[in-house]
Chain A
Amino acid sequence: MGAGAIIMAIIGAIIFFGGAFFGLAKMKKPEK
């Protein structure tokens, strides 16, 4: 696996998973 692919794998993981977890972390309201 080349360096370009590894970098994109890391960036993709940060953005997609990071985005989802960022949203979850912002959930301040109690669950209804």
Chain B
Amino acid sequence: MARERWDKRGAFIMAAIGSAIGLGNVWRFPYMAYANGGGAFFIPYIIALITTGVPLVALEYYLGIRYQKGPTEAFGFIRKKSNYIGWFALGVSGMITVYYTVIMAWAWRYLAASFKVAWAGKEADFFFGKVLGITEGIGVLGGMQWALVLGNLLTWICIFLIIFKGVKVVGKVVNWTVGLPWAMLGILIIRGITLKGSGMGLDFYLNPDFSHLANPQVWLGAYGQIFFSLSLGFGIMIAYASYLPKDSDINNNAWVVSFSNCATSFFAGFAIFSTLGYMATATGQPIDQVAGAGVGLAFVTFPTAIGLLPGGIFFKALIGIFFFIMLLTLGIDSAFSLVEAIVTGIKDSFSVKREKAAFWVCFVGFLLGMLYCTKAGLYWLDVVDHWMNWGLMLVGLMEAILIGWFFNIKQAAQDIDSTSEMKMGGYWIACVKYITPIILIIIMISNVVGEYKAPYGGYPTWSLMLGGWVLTFTLFILAVMMQNKRSKADWKAGITGRIIGWLIVYAGMIVTFRLFYQATLSKVVPVIVLVGSVVVGSLIIRAIKPKEVTE
């Protein structure tokens, strides 16, 4: 059967831009700039964009376009037994989608509350109490927040309706989901910069302090921001590009999508910091008391600023509605692109119909999201999000190493340039083969060291184990088990050895991570346990595995 196609090149570009532009552009980039030297942060950010962002986006487009398959199959063409990278990418995507849709459920809840500015004067209580019903700790689930379940259901229904017919419908929807948030941002900027104190806010966002450039953490932050912002490591770009014809322009598409994404982040900073400047002026607080990022910015700080706006309730409500419509439209195209990557992967590997794959992915995703709709949902979201970011970097690292070191990268560079108006040649090779792996390894090691020094967020060890290490490695083990399994016979062959071997590896990993948090213990012990369990487990799998199994 002929592969589906985008209606036109513009539809693909809009869909890729829509996927890349998400909540992080609004709630992360402006704060990153503010905290890391203001306008001076643009320097490492642009360098990261050109040396890692554009080349990695081009790499993912290349995989999709060249092999005309989603992430679960494309890696196998590069090197046999590498499809697990695609499965792992989809596992991480799936975990992220499940809580991303719940964040959108919060936005639905706030959109409904915007008509009366229901949070005014009690912003923190409204969010943590009324919306989340937050419990005293991660171990106390506290029951369901049914309004969030409803919002989550609504989000998943939207996702299903958009993707189940294929990329032609996606190509039409993205005109709205990319256009609307831009229009909303434009309105918020006009409102923001006409407020008293907005200039002061923008000074904090843009005024350059070049002394920050001497700090390596600022550079790592810029590379991390570029990596997460461009939807890299999810398998989305591979899936989307697989619906383009083989002679599509790779470099130009990568360039336009990457720069459009960064332009949106830059643009969003004006809306956020002009309003925060007004808020600081109106309340007499210093800007560092009001500036923030993430969930707190979107659901506490910005609603507070809306409540302080001059004018009657009508105008406050209007700005609130615009802001939350912006969040919803920013989020929905990122969410359905994540689901599309999973559906494409399943469809390509198991030859199932798109409608069926889409239904089951959405249904299971909705059910898994129930955890985040409990009153401890925010805690779990925070823990899982922390580790899934680590998983994404691992995917990015593996794909760069796979192409850079286990494939004829010169041939890949020639292939890419042969259909592209802009040529990257040796520059692309250097970025993929050296710069990206080095930067990602440094960031990942720095994260692990940070985790060792201070366990994330002060959460109890068992929750970090369960929502972090164990979940991430479960996804990885499942990914290895999934590759090249296309029939029941594939699954049955060597099943005993696989189960015993993987259980040993798994037990070793759990013990390793448990030991990791025991500060008094020598770090050699967990490393020996980990290496030992992997070696023993692998030997057992190999010993019992019949020859015809291709895992």
Q: Which residues of A contact B (CB under 8 A)?
A: 1-2, 4-9, 11-13, 15-17, 19-20, 22-24, 26-29, 31-32
Closest 8 CB pairs of A and B: A8-B39, A19-B259, A23-B256, A5-B206, A1-B199, A16-B263, A20-B259, A23-B255
Binds A, one of B141-149, B244-252, B410-418, B513-521: B244-252
14 extra A-B contacts, CB within 8 A, seeds A1-B200, A23-B255: A2-B203, A5-B38, A6-B206, A8-B38, A9-B202, A11-B42, A13-B266, A16-B259, A20-B259, A23-B256, A26-B252, A32-B5, A32-B245, A32-B248
Tell me the complex Cα distance, A24–B10, Å: 10
Which single member of B39, B42, B202, B252 contacts A23 (CB below 8 Å)? B252
CB proximity of A4 to chain B, nearest CB, Å? 5
The reply to whether A5 and B421 contact each other, CB–CB distance below 8 Å, is no
The reply to whether B255 and A19 contact each other, CB–CB distance below 8 Å, is yes
- Chain B positions 224 through 255: 1 when the CB is less than 8 Å from some CB of chain A, otherwise 0: 00000000000000000000110011001001
CB proximity of A31 to chain B, nearest CB, Å? 4
CB proximity of A30 to chain B, nearest CB, Å? 8
Tell me if A's interface is mostly helix, strand, loop or mixed: helix
Tell me the complex Cα distance, A32–B171, Å: 13
Query: Can you name 11 A-B pairs with beta carbons within 8 Å?
Result: A2-B207, A5-B38, A8-B42, A9-B39, A12-B42, A16-B259, A20-B260, A23-B252, A23-B422, A26-B252, A27-B421
CB proximity of A2 to chain B, nearest CB, Å? 5
The reply to whether A15 and B46 contact each other, CB–CB distance below 8 Å, is yes
Which single member of B202, B244, B263 contacts A5 (CB below 8 Å)? B202
Which single member of A2, A4, A12, A24 contacts B266 (CB below 8 Å)? A12
Q: Does B433 contact A (CB under 8 A)?
A: no
Q: Does B205 contact A (CB under 8 A)?
A: yes
CB proximity of A20 to chain B, nearest CB, Å? 4
Contact residues in B for A8 (Cβ distance below 8 Å): 38-39, 42, 206-208
Contact residues in A for B249 (Cβ distance below 8 Å): 27, 29
Q: Given A8-B206, A26-B252, verify A15-B8 contact (CB < 8 Å).
A: no
Q: Given A23-B255, A32-B245, verify A5-B42 contact (CB < 8 Å).
A: no
Contact residues in B for A24 (Cβ distance below 8 Å): 256
Q: Which residues of B contact A (CB under 8 A)?
A: 5-6, 8-10, 38-39, 42, 46, 199-200, 202-203, 205-208, 244-245, 248-249, 252, 255-256, 259-260, 262-263, 266, 421-422
Contact residues in B for A20 (Cβ distance below 8 Å): 256, 259-260, 263
Q: Given A13-B266, A26-B252, verify A5-B245 contact (CB < 8 Å).
A: no
The reply to whether A5 and B207 contact each other, CB–CB distance below 8 Å, is yes
Contact residues in B for A9 (Cβ distance below 8 Å): 39, 202, 206
CB proximity of B13 to chain A, nearest CB, Å? 9
- Can you name the residue of chain A whose Cβ is closest to the Cβ of B270? A9
CB proximity of B32 to chain A, nearest CB, Å? 14
Tell me the complex Cα distance, A23–B255, Å: 6
CB proximity of A26 to chain B, nearest CB, Å? 5
Contact residues in B for A16 (Cβ distance below 8 Å): 259, 262-263, 266
Tell me the complex Cα distance, A28–B305, Å: 45
CB proximity of A9 to chain B, nearest CB, Å? 5
Tell me the complex Cα distance, A27–B259, Å: 14
